[in-house]
Amino acid sequence: MSGQLNLCRTALSAALLCSLVAPLAALAALAEAQHFAIAGYRVGPYAAGGTGQVGGLVDYLELVNARDGGVNGVKLSWSECETEYKVERGVECYERLKKEATTFNPFSVGIACAVVERATADKIPVITQPWPHGLQQRSSLPLRVPGDSQSVE
């Protein structure tokens, strides 16, 4: 059972990572670099989940840069800050990293909900897992999740 769970987590992580980078290909042509601001949680009570997600995203960004030279020739960069899965720390992280960010990835629905209005005003896309129903009341931006008939367009 543990092997199946790990395989499922790996497959879901790979699918999520691919869906995150693909939409940036169009934006990459307009920029010199695409900078991911990552609000992760590698310590604290939820570290078991956060370590793999954040590590997987960083590994994938490194792979795309090493194997493909970035996206359409545009290198991917990132900075990370630790939130311990706490909303207050996630908001602080957003404020600290937004100056250089072209995207923000909170890895937490609570942090995503807390920063979506700020990110909308700052015109910084928030990349998060498919939890649009909690976010759609907090953002004037259209939210689209492939395959989700409840998505707002």
Domains of the chain in sequence order: 2-135 (3.40.50.2300)
| Whole-angstrom Cα Rg for the chain | 15
Confidence of residue 33 (pLDDT cuts 50, 70, 90): confident
pLDDT in tens, 94-113: 999 999 999 999 999 899 98
The CA–CA distances, whole Å, from 28 to 20, 42, 62, 95, 99 equal 13, 29, 16, 23, 18
10-14 — which CB contacts under 8 Å span 24+ positions? 13/52, 13/53, 13/56, 14/56
Contact between 74 and 28 under an 8 Å Cβ cutoff? The reply is yes
For the ranges 46-50, 58-62, 127-131, the maximum mean pLDDT occurs at: 58-62
Out of 44-48, 70-74, 106-110, 128-132, which region has the weakest mean confidence (pLDDT)? 128-132
Rounded to whole angstroms, the Cα distance separating 131 from 56 reads: 20
* pLDDT value, residue 152: 46
State mean pLDDT over 71-77.
Answer: 95
Confidence of residue 129 (pLDDT cuts 50, 70, 90): confident
pLDDT in tens, 11-24: 445 444 555 555 55
Does 146 have pLDDT greater than 90? no
Average model confidence (pLDDT) for the chain?
A: 78
Q: Spell out the residues 6+ positions from residue 22 whose beta carbon is closer than 8 angstroms to its own.
A: none
HSE of 145 in the Cβ direction (CA atoms, 13 Å)?
A: 16
Q: With both helix axes pointing from N to C terminus, report the angle between 87-97 and 109-122 in degrees, rounded to the nearest 10.
A: 30
* pLDDT value, residue 32: 80
